[in-house]
Amino acid sequence: MISRSDVEHVARLARLGLTDDELDRMVGQLSRILEAVNVLQSVDTSAIDPTAQVIELENVMRDDVVSDRQRLSRDAALAGAPLREGPMLRVPVVLEEGR
């Protein structure tokens, strides 16, 4: 079981301002988490190959297809732009070099 002083120490390191009630709750919750980790540590995993991914990865990309109803005119797309210069957006200068 984790002690209240350990929880206070971790909270202080994490810069968390916990109330007394929250500290008491965290003691119980963190103790249960540590007990679960101890159970997992007792499992024999010597016959299990190391893996970086536990589920199969699949590509969820699709081709970009634009329908006519999704098309916007340039003026409609720029209608809400705060700064415009002709048919283009104008943005504030970020870097002074090249000015």
Q: How many CA atoms are closer than 13 Å to the CA of 6, on its beta-carbon side?
A: 10
Is 90:84 a contact under the CB 8 Å cutoff? yes
Tell me the three state secondary structure of residue 84: strand
Q: What is the pLDDT of residues 8-48, one digit of tens each?
A: 999 999 999 999 999 999 999 999 999 999 999 999 988 88
- Which token pair is 36? 């679960």
Q: Which residues, in sequence order, are bridge partners of residue 88?
A: 85
Domains of the chain: 4-41 (1.10.20)
Burial track 59-97 (b if 16+ CB lie within 10 A, e otherwise): eeeeeeeeeeeeeeeeeeeeeeeeeeeeeeeeeeeeeee
> What is residue 99's predicted lDDT score, i.e. its pLDDT?
59
Q: In angstroms, rounded to a whole number, what is the distance separating the alpha carbons of residues 41 and 77?
A: 56
Looking at residue 2, its pLDDT comes to 93
